[in-house]
Amino acid sequence: MTPVTFPEAAGPEGLRLYAIGDVHGRADLLTRMHGLIRADLADNPVHDWRIIHLGDYVDRGPASKEVLEFLIEAREKDERNLVLMGNHDVSFLDFLALAEPDGVFANNGGRETALSYGVEIDFRDPKSVDEGYVALSSAVPQAHVEFIRHMPRAFTFGDFFFCHAGIRPGVPLDHQDPEDLIWIRRAFLDWTEPFEKVVIHGHTPLDEIEVKPNRVDVDTFAWHSGRLSAIVIDGAVKRFIEARL
């Protein structure tokens, strides 16, 4: 397959794509972003559309439970809302399964996720972890667990490949390791040659959207910056939108 770069890359004709970066518990910004997208579709009608959420819905921000509830409802209302898995989402499930006191969830914003379900956990205190695990396991609806568990790890539309973290250079897109798709960083970010398709991803937070010839990072640190970003792909036209309060 001939490699493609961002300037000439195009989405499928008649299908507008919206790809939203890492939410991390900012239900307020996610709600605002969907409002902006609805307004954009009303002002600039298109034959068909997809909204692609790029993963990491939980941890760090204050409203992880509400983010998952929003996405579940959005998906039930319209299956054109697509939801990819992120590493934090997997780590949330890992804690619910294993109660790791020193894992990714414990060390990277899991306390805030637990609080959104009404559970206080002090990860420095083994007793609190044990009790908090039991309480959180009871507080998290099974529907949330199943929703995360069944999230895909990648989508392809036109000249674009969508995933949470990135891809392993030199490996065909259809043979990527699922773990790389949600965890990879340096080997992917440092690669400058074109890929089979332009990769749209999050996972690595930056002050601004980063556009490279072979990839676009739309993670603008929403939980901390108060800015949730998205790329809009409409045929060969690419633009960006930002939700802030």
Composition of the chain by helix, strand, coil, percent to 5: 40, 20, 40
Single out the residue of 83, 89, 30, 76 nearest to residue 54, CA to CA.
83
pTM assigned to the model? 0.98
What would the pLDDT profile of 55-103 be if each residue is shown by its tens digit?
999 999 999 999 999 999 999 999 999 999 999 999 999 999 999 999 9
Q: Identify the pLDDT of residue 229.
A: 98
- Strands 48-53 and 160-163, by their bridges, are unpaired
Helices (H), the chain: 27-43, 64-77, 87-98, 104-107, 110-116, 126-139, 142-149, 178-183, 186-189, 222-225
Confidence tier at 1 by pLDDT (50, 70, 90): confident
- pLDDT of 4-31, one tens digit each? 999 999 999 999 999 999 999 999 999 9
110-132 confidence digits (pLDDT tens): 999 999 999 999 999 999 999 99
CA distance 209 to 22: 12
Domains of the chain: residue spans and CATH = 15-57+68-95+153-243 (3.60.21.10)
